[in-house]
Amino acid sequence: MSYSFSKTDIKNPNYSLVKKIMKKLTYFLIAVFIFTTNASKAALITVNSGDVLNVSGWAADDYIVYGTLNSGSTLEMGGSLTIKSGGKVNVTTTFSAYGPSIIVESGGELNAASLAVQGSPSKPFMVAGKVQLTGSATFNGYFHLLAGGIFNAINVDFSNPNNTVEGIITSSGTVTFHNAPNTMTCPGQIITQHFTNSSGPNPISGSGYIQVNGNFDSNNSLTLSSTIYLNVIGGIPMGENKGSATVGLKSEACNGTLPVIFGQIQSIIENNILKVQWSTLSETNNDHFNIEVSADGSKFFTADKISSKALGGNSENTILYTRSLSISGPISQALGGSLAIAFLGIGLFSIRKKKSLFNSLFIVAISSLAFFACSKNDTSFDHAIPSKVFVRIVQVDKDGNSRTSEIVKAIIK
Nearest to 319, CA basis, from 275, 344, 289, 348: 289
- CB-based contacts of 103: which residues, under 8 Å, 6+ apart? 80, 81, 82, 83, 126, 127, 128
Cβ–Cβ < 8 Å for 229, 249 = yes
What is the C-alpha to C-alpha distance for residues 129 and 150, in angstroms, rounded to an integer?
6
Is 70 exceeded by the pLDDT of residue 28?
Answer: no
pTM more than 0.95: no
pLDDT, average across residues 343-367: 42
Q: What share of the chain is helix, strand, coil (3-state, %, to 5)?
A: 25, 40, 35
Q: Tell me, what's the pLDDT at 373?
A: 44
**Does the CA dihedral 336-337-343-346 come out positive or negative?**
negative
Encode pLDDT of 127-141 as tens digits. Answer: 999 999 999 999 999
* pLDDT more than 90, % of the chain: 55
Between 298 and 269, residue with greater pLDDT: 269
Encode pLDDT of 290-310 as tens digits. Answer: 999 988 877 888 989 999 999
Q: Tell me, what's the pLDDT at 69?
A: 97
Is 70 exceeded by the pLDDT of residue 123?
Answer: yes
Provide long-range contacts, Cβ within 8 A and 24+ apart, for 185-189: 185/147, 186/227, 186/253, 186/254, 186/255, 186/257, 187/147, 187/253, 187/254, 187/257, 187/258, 187/261, 188/145, 188/147, 188/164, 189/165, 189/250, 189/253, 189/261, 189/281
Q: Tell me, what's the pLDDT at 271?
A: 84
What DSSP assignment string belongs to 222-270? Answer: -BS-TTEEEEETT-PPTT---TTPEE--GGGGGGG--SEEEEEEEEEEE
Cβ–Cβ < 8 Å for 89, 110 = yes
Between 336 and 372, residue with greater pLDDT: 336
Confidence of residue 317 (pLDDT cuts 50, 70, 90): confident
Average pLDDT of every residue of the chain: 82
Confidence of residue 379 (pLDDT cuts 50, 70, 90): very low
Is 80 exceeded by the pLDDT of residue 382?
Answer: no
